[in-house]
Chains A and B, each alone.
Chain A
Amino acid sequence: MNDRWVTTGFKGLDDILDGLRIGDNVVWKVDIIEDYQYFVEPYVKQALADQHEVVYFRFGQHPPVVETDLGVETVELDPREGFEPFACAIHAIATEKGVGTFYVFDCLSELLSAWATDHMIANFFQVTCPYLFRLDTVAYFALLRNRHAHKTIARIRETTQVFLELHNREGQRFVHPLKVWERHSPTMFLPHRQSGESFIPLANSLEATSLLAGAYNQDQAAGNRRLDHWHRLFLQAEDLNAEGVSTAEQEKMVNHLCRHLIGREDNILNLARRFFSLNDLLSYKSRMIGTGFIGGKAVGMLLARRILEAQPDSNWCDQLEQHDSFFVGSNVYYSYIVNNGLWELYAAQKTPEGYFRAGAELHEKC
């Protein structure tokens, strides 16, 4: 037997996948969180029984997927502080724990409401997964079906070692492995129906069709999956703007968009909420490349114009030249760092020892 072989804690699953390997990142795409939890539990129990250290990253609003009394170390994180602190904190813990630790992550779809964009979830996965792989860890992740842009799913699938579709049809579970790195069997990539402790490949095309077509239709019906969550959020805002809905509802949307577009500083946020209408924010978005914050300079420029134009007894509109600017969102900066393989250096720059040293290296090289 391969000396890097590890069990999922679930015999039937081990049989389909030929077990896990040290270094595996396992992504479960699920209909409901409970199904993820169902497979997390035996994995964690077995890992603890085998004397592995298990760390649970807790950041979702859903119920915990790991029971606290098992002897797992739970690390609580607040993703609303943003991509960078979140990814850096996990990076730092992984560094501290070192080789051979087992990890469980809350459902990654929870990050959507905090970051408003799919794209950054893929970025997070792209920086975290290879690092955990190198540290000889095993990690469990989950995504909710129908929440993410195709592109995000594709990037995650490309990065991870194991990608499993888990369907739930009226309580009946089906496991459909889409990617199992360096493992093969004649039936491995067929959908499997759970039957007690074991999984039976759907040898019958009729059964496979009814399962997969249903899931596929559901996926298509859930809106345009080609778009990032970010764009769908603004489409929703456009609807609110066009329909002439209540001002209270519009204000709520203004507040929400300001949090994702304008920044975090209260003084500036308060000014933005006071002077920017939903219409304004939509027009800024239409001039935006990428996602995230437009940054302090852009906010100051737009805010100053709005303040002047809002003065009742003056004609600033006539005296001011229209702005003709484009904005590149701050997430483009992160994407640039991630896509060019600079993230680990970037994370090192966030430590006291690396602040100047890694900074100089980042400044220079690529």
Chain B
Amino acid sequence: MLTGSFPEQLREDFQSMLDYYGQYPIIVRSSSLLEDSFGSAFAGKYDSFFCANQGSPEDRYNAFEAAVRKIFSSTMSEDALTYRKQRGLDQQVEQMGLLVQRVSGSYHRQYYFPELAGVGISYNTFVWDKQMDPKAGMLRLVLGLGTRAVDRVEGDYPRIVALDEPMKLPLKGYEDIRRFSQKDIDLVNINDNDLQSQSLFRLIEEGIDFNLDRYGVLDRETMNRLRERGKPAQQVWLLTFEHLLIRTDFPQRMQKLLKTLETAYQYPVDIEFTVNRNADQTEKINLLQCRPLQTKGLKKRVSIPDGITAEKIFFKAEGGFMGGNTALQIKQVIWIDAKRYSQLSLSDKHEVARLIGRLNRCIKDREQQPTLLLGPGRWGTSTPSLGVPVKFSEINNMTAIGEVAFQEGELMPELSFGSHFFQDLVEADIFYLALFPDTFPCSLNDGWVYQSSNALEELMPGSSHFKPVVKVIELQKQNLMLLADVVAQKLVCFWDEE
């Protein structure tokens, strides 16, 4: 579907639309019949494309047509077909419409981007603090284009805002804040006719005309360090969004916006938005998308028994999980050894991801064979040094997945709400957990994993090369339970003798 032609009338209509937008960058987005309805968001299953809209009218036209073809073609991608089949939509009619939007933003020299962009969710299904109200909702907020807030990006973090406690972060210490902040800005580069990520540091170096004190604070520590090293003096900004979150009513407005939509939908929603500034400095919110969020209900009460003895516990944590109240009996554990994984070559790391995909396909029935997948860093990243680069379709039969922090290798979990991966987990009803074994009260006893026999070779003959990295443990008689209590924010996985 990538080389087809369009009839004359349609080409004329496309052309007049492009004439209307002129040279402003536009985005061509999938808008299918089933997409974003109640129950299926199709997050990231169909493509969207930016057209920077530079060059001759013919070039611009051709770029647009190419984007349309690619979106049409994405309806038949394996990922999309698997998704539809899994959700029982494979026999339903799916038709692809398109939503074409002028990219919301303004020019800063050759760069074009909105001041702020992000994702908002009216129900904070991951509350990482007992004082927080999940009903207040949350944002993933970035400077520049929202692609950064929607997708998982390596080494870079959007600002996570719990709308009732906007200044609270799931981070500890200044160093963490620096490390887990946004460093790159997504923007349209007019000169290169392209969507790009540029480091904020470099943009400042180039002297970009943008007032950063609204969204960041000067990182004096880093500036001093640079000066000590004899580097030329330059401002270094840390994007904390403090001013916006403390001194303006932005969090309240966004909360009200989300609540209003949730009330009308009678269901939690998630949105994509941008924020720009008028000539008189007032903020204007541009709502790009709104859809019902799928969550597992909180009806089932789960109580975690008191006094589970330490030797019975596989792991426990407070906060850092998602998927509602849960009581699951685990029948299979797939464990990726962090240290050995981090020592693999780049191509072997990709091989591990494919191997997990094949193991995933062996799970014929999630109900019969609930599987817990545990591995270092972030699942689904595109950077293998940060975690196993699986596609969602390679883990979609798991019952629970866990991201385990591995400090030495810099493999850190990242809880990216509203990202495609997050949406996928929510919709596939996969429980998510993050473990920071070095941080109290989290604990992990993985000794038993190394004493258990590895079923990898039986399942995947010819994979013995990866036997030290990938452990598959079948649990027949032992009763491994995964319990999560959302209200108390407690999570435990333990050997239950009853």
Binding site for B on A (CB under 8 A): 81-82, 84-85, 263-265, 267-268, 271, 275, 289-290, 292-301, 303-305, 307-308, 311, 314, 316, 319-321, 323-337, 339-340, 342, 349-350, 355-356, 359-360, 362-366
Q: Say if the beta carbon of B171 comes within 8 Å of chain A.
A: no
Residues of B within 8 A of A342 (CB): 1, 4
Q: When the two chains form the complex, which single residue of A324, A340, A350, A366 contacts B102, counting CB atoms closer than 8 Å?
A: A324
Contact call B260/A307, Cβ cutoff below 8 A: yes
Check if A360 sits within 8 Å of B78, measured CB to CB.
yes
Contact of B97 (CB < 8 Å), options: A84, A295, A319, A324: A295
A289 touches B284 (CB 8 A): no
Asked whether, in the complex, the Cβ of A320 is within 8 Å of the Cβ of B285, the reply is yes
The A-contacting residues of B in range 81-115, CB under 8 angstroms, are 81, 85, 90-91, 93, 95-102, 104
9 contacts between A and B (CB under 8 A): A297-B36, A298-B99, A300-B290, A301-B99, A303-B290, A323-B287, A327-B98, A328-B97, A329-B97
A304:B77 contact, CB within 8 angstroms: no
Q: Which residue of B lies closest to A322 (CB)?
A: B286
Verify A308–B261 contact, CB threshold 8 A: yes
> Do residues A296 and B286 form an inter-chain contact, with CB atoms below 8 A?
no
Known: A295-B99, A329-B97, A336-B4. A263 touches B33 (CB 8 A): yes
A366 contact set on B, CB distance < 8 A: 1-4
Q: Given the known A-B contacts A295-B31, A308-B260, A336-B1, are A301 and B6 also in contact in the complex, defined by CB atoms under 8 Å?
A: no
On whether the beta carbons of A330 and B78 are closer than 8 Å, the reply is no
Min CB distance, B100 to chain A, in Å?
4
B13: Cβ under 8 A from any A Cβ: yes
A290 near B13 with CB under 8 A, answer: yes
The 10 closest A-B pairs by CB, nearest first: A295-B31, A295-B97, A304-B290, A340-B4, A296-B36, A328-B98, A330-B95, A297-B31, A321-B286, A296-B35
Known A271-B264, A300-B291; judge A333-B72 contact (CB<8 A).
yes
Complexed CA–CA distance, A293 and B35 (Å): 12
Q: Does A333 contact B37, Cβ atoms closer than 8 Å? A: no
Are B284 and A296 interface neighbours, CB within 8 A?
no
Judge if B203 is at the interface, Cβ distance under 8 Å: no
Residue B276 is within 8 A (CB to CB) of chain A in the complex: yes
B76 touches A362 (CB 8 A): yes
| B65 smallest CB distance to A (angstroms) | 11
B284 near A321 with CB under 8 A, answer: yes
Is B147 an interface residue, CB under 8 A from the partner?
Answer: no
- Establish whether residues B1 and A300, one from each chain, have CB atoms under 8 Å apart when the complex forms: no
Kindly list chain A residues whose C-beta atoms are within 8 Å of the C-beta of B76: 349, 359-360, 362-363
Closest to A333 in B: B96
**Contacting residues, chain A, for B33 (C-beta < 8 A):** 263-264, 293, 295-296, 330
Whether A296 and B291, one on each chain, are in contact in the complex, defined by CB atoms closer than 8 angstroms, is: yes
**A327 and B85: CB pair below 8 A?**
no
> Given A263-B33, A326-B20, 20 other A-B contacts at CB below 8 A?
A263-B37, A295-B97, A295-B99, A296-B31, A296-B37, A297-B29, A301-B290, A305-B287, A308-B261, A319-B284, A336-B72, A340-B5, A355-B90, A356-B78, A359-B76, A360-B78, A362-B76, A363-B76, A364-B2, A365-B2
A199 and B287 CA atoms in complex are apart in Å by: 66
Residue of B nearest to A340 (CB): B4
Name the residue on B nearest A342 (C-beta): B1
Tell me whether A328 and B81 are in contact (CB under 8 A). Answer: no
1/0 per residue, CB under 8 A from A, across B263-304: the answer is 011000101001010000001111111111000000000000
B-chain residues with CB within 8 Å of residue A82 when the two chains form the complex: 93
Q: Output the nearest chain A residue to B36 by Cβ-Cβ distance.
A: A296
The proximity string for B residues 4-38 relative to A, scoring 1 for CB distances below 8 Å and 0 otherwise, is 11110010011001001000000001111111111
Interface hits, B394-452 → A, CB 8 Å: none
Contact partners of A305 in chain B: CB under 8 A: 287
Q: With A84-B93, A268-B38, A297-B31 known to touch, is A327 a contact of B288 (CB < 8 Å)?
A: no
Give every chain A residue within 8 A of B14 (Cβ-Cβ): 289
Q: How far is the CA of A289 from the CA of B31 in the complex (A)?
A: 13
Structural contact, A333 and B95, CB atoms closer than 8 A = yes
Q: Is A304 a contact partner of B95 (Cβ separation < 8 A)?
A: no
Interface pair B285/A292, CB less than 8 Å apart: no
A308 to B98, CA, bound (A): 23
Residue on B nearest A341 in the bound complex, by CB: B4
Known A290-B13, A336-B4, A359-B78; judge A295-B35 contact (CB<8 A). Answer: yes
The answer for the CA separation of A333 and B3 in the assembled complex, in Å, is 14
- Verify A308–B257 contact, CB threshold 8 A: yes
B287 contacts A265, CB within 8 Å? no
Q: A residues within 8 A CB of B68? A: 328
The smallest C-beta distance from B63 to any residue of chain A, in angstroms, reads: 15
Are the C-beta atoms of B95 and A321 separated by less than 8 Å?
no
Q: Is the beta-carbon distance between A268 and B37 smaller than 8 angstroms? A: yes
Report chain A residues within 8 Å CB of B102. 324-325
The smallest C-beta distance from A42 to any residue of chain B, in angstroms, reads 38
Asked if B73 is at the interface of the complex by the 8 Å CB criterion, the answer is yes
For A363, the chain B residues whose CB sits under 8 A away are 1, 73, 76-78
Nearest B residue to A81 via CB reads: B93
User: Does B253 make an interface contact (CB < 8 A)?
Assistant: yes
Report the Cα distance A329→B269, complex, angstroms: 25
Bound Cα distance A59, B158 (Å): 54
Is B260 a contact partner of A311 (Cβ separation < 8 A)?
A: yes
Contact partner of B17 (CB less than 8 A), chosen from A84, A289, A349, A355, is A289
Q: A308-B257, A339-B5, A342-B1 are in contact. Are A325 and B285 (CB under 8 A)?
A: no
Chain A residue contacts of B91, Cβ below 8 A: 350
Q: Are A325 and B1 in contact (CB under 8 A)?
A: no
Q: Kindly report which residue of chain B lies nearest to residue A274, judged by CB atoms.
A: B264
- Inter-chain CA distance A50–B484, complex, in Å, is 72
**How many angstroms from the CA of A334 to the CA of B5 in the assembled complex?**
13
Q: Which of B34, B73, B90, B100 contacts A328 (CB 8 A)?
A: B100
Select from chain A the residue with minimum beta-carbon distance to B5: A340
Known: A320-B285, A359-B78, A362-B76. A295 touches B264 (CB 8 A): no
In the assembled complex, the CB of A284 is this many whole angstroms from the nearest CB of chain B, namely 11
Are B96 and A295 closer than 8 Å at their CB atoms? yes
Structural contact, A326 and B289, CB atoms closer than 8 A: no
Q: How far is the CB of B479 from chain A (nearest CB, A)?
A: 37
Contacting residues, chain B, for A293 (C-beta < 8 A): 33, 95, 97
Cβ of A333 and Cβ of B97 under 8 Å apart? yes
Query: B264 contacts which chain A residues (CB < 8 A)?
Result: 271, 275, 307
Whose C-beta in chain B lies nearest to the C-beta of A361? Answer: B76
Decide: A297 near B289, CB < 8 A? Known: A82-B93, A327-B99, A334-B95. yes
Within 8 Å by CB of A332, from B10, B269, B290, lies: B10
Instruction: Please give the distance in Å from A209's CB to the nearest CB on chain B.
Output: 34
B232–chain A nearest beta-carbon distance, Å: 39
* Cα–Cα, bound, A326→B289 (Å): 14
Shortest distance between the CB of A352 and any CB in chain B (Å): 8
